[in-house]
Amino acid sequence: MSFDWLIKIGYVLLGLFIVLNYGLLQYGVIRRISARIGKRIGVKVYQPYIDLIKNYSFRSQITHGVMFYLGPVFRLSGGVGVFLFMPLIFGSEHFSNYSFSGDLILILYFLFFGMLGMALGAGEGGHPYSFIGISRGLSQFTTIELPFTLAVISLAIQYHTFSITDIVAAQQGGIMHWTLMTNPLATAAAMLSFLGMMGNSPFNVVIAPQENPIGPPTEYHSTFLAVLQTNRAILGPVEAILMVNLFFGGATNWVSLIIKSFLVFFWPVFVGIVFPRFRVDQSIPWFLKLPFVLGILAIFLI
């Protein structure tokens, strides 16, 4: 009897554990760096861990119904779903997760899945205005996905495949083979939409503390919030790894994966520190202008 599937699950969980810790540390480092820019010392690097433990250790919860429970669960399964189908290390038998020939389409679906679950959950919360936050969030995320999807279509035309592993394989052999060099327009469109995907400053009006009284996470507390934080710690680095895989030649070992995804991860952080927050009626047209046009051009000029 073969136990390969068991070993496979073990390695997937190990990868998930590594990515979760990587994400938590990365958010700590981000807050530290943005504090230094503001001439502060900032939080401890391991503060996200403490916050997570504290939120899991609250003794009471208030629920508003079944969907309210399921909202964070959907969000987390969206994040873990993206992780499950993402090949982390190219050529590695163990850290390719459940990557298969059409994984890119599935990942695009999972990116949106969490948002929808969250919308349903927050809609059932006791907050009368949460639907404003939801409609803002969903409409903004739709326009964020648009340039990214166009870039993905451009990649599919370029490489004749929807498999992330094949796309990474086609980019091997030096920096000149990266999509960044072979298809700069698609890279630009995707990196601009990546700014919105990470939910940093110019595009974070939905979850911004000042706007939080009408944002979807307002009612989420204690364990619910901890589940959302866990998802954020997984989804953030996984989205960065997706960008590394699609546009920056992937990674053949953990060191290059962490260096590349770290740099990609910091692109929205630096933009976020420099630029102030957009309102939703500013951010949606922004995505429909330059990134959208770049995405269209990427398809036609490939």
Partner 1 sequence: MENKDFIKPYYESKIVESPDGEEIKVNPLEDYFCGEAPKSHAPNSNKLWESFLNWARAESLWVLGFGTGCGSMEILPLMTPRFDAYRFGVQMRPTPRQSNVIIISGYLSVKTLKRAIRSYEQMQNPKYVMALGSCTINGGMYYDSYNTINRLDHYMPVDVYITGCMPRPEALLAGFEEMKRLIKAGKGEKANEYAENFEWYKANQKKIIKDWNMPDYNW
**Least separation in angstroms between CB 276 and partner 1:** 18
Whichever of 10 and 126 has its CB closer to partner 1, that residue is 126
Whichever of 8 and 277 has its CB closer to partner 1, that residue is 277
Whichever of 126 and 285 has its CB closer to partner 1, that residue is 126
Whichever of 28 and 87 has its CB closer to partner 1, that residue is 28
Whichever of 216 and 291 has its CB closer to partner 1, that residue is 216
**Least separation in angstroms between CB 75 and partner 1:** 16
- Cα–Cα dist 219/6, whole Å: 39
Q: Which residues bind partner 1 (CB under 8 A)?
A: 31, 35, 38-44, 47, 50-51, 53-54, 57-62, 126, 209-210, 212-213, 218-222, 225
Backbone angles phi, psi at 171, to 5 degrees: -95, 0
**Least separation in angstroms between CB 294 and partner 1:** 36
**Least separation in angstroms between CB 248 and partner 1:** 33
CA distances from 173 to 169, 176, 177, 188, 251 (A): 9, 8, 6, 22, 12
Task: Give yes or no for a contact between 145 and 115, defined as CB atoms under 8 angstroms apart.
Answer: no
Question: H helices within the chain, ranges in order?
Answer: 4-37, 47-56, 66-84, 103-124, 130-159, 164-170, 179-182, 184-197, 222-247, 254-274, 280-288, 290-301
User: What residues have CB less than 8 Å from 154, skipping those under 6 apart?
Assistant: 183, 185, 186, 189, 295, 298, 299, 302
- Cα–Cα dist 143/141, whole Å: 5
**Least separation in angstroms between CB 239 and partner 1:** 24
Instruction: Say whether 48 sits in a helix, a strand or coil.
Output: helix
Whichever of 18 and 45 has its CB closer to partner 1, that residue is 45
Look up tokens 């994400």; give the residue.
23
**Least separation in angstroms between CB 50 and partner 1:** 5
